[in-house]
Copies of this chain bind each other. A is one copy, B any other.
Amino acid sequence: MGKTAVIVIDMINTYDHDDADQLLPAARAALPSVVRLIEAARRQGTPVIYANDNFGEWRSHHGEILATALAGPHADLVEPIRPDDKSLFVVKARHSIFFETPLSYLLSQLGVDHVILCGQVTEQCVLYSALDAHIRHLKVTVVRDAVAHIQADLAEAALRMMERNMGADVRTVDSLTS
A94 within 8 A of B: yes
Q: Are A89 and B59 also in contact (CB < 8 A) when A100-B105, A104-B100, A131-B95 are?
A: yes
| A124 near B165: Cβ-Cβ < 8 Å | yes
* Of A32-40, A152-160, A168-176, the one touching chain B: A152-160
CB distance from A96 to the nearest CB of B (A): 6
| A89 near B58: Cβ-Cβ < 8 Å | yes
CB distance from A172 to the nearest CB of B (A): 22
Interface size on A, residues (CB 8 A): 44
Assembly stoichiometry (copies): 4
Instruction: Name A109-168 residues within 8 Å CB distance of B.
Output: 109, 123-124, 127-128, 131, 134-135, 137, 151, 153-154, 157-158, 160-161, 164-165
A16 within 8 A of B: no
Closest residue of B by beta carbon distance from A49: B58
A92 to B153, CA, bound (A): 31
| A160 near B165: Cβ-Cβ < 8 Å | no
Instruction: Name A60-85 residues within 8 Å CB distance of B.
Output: 61-63, 85
A88 within 8 A of B: yes
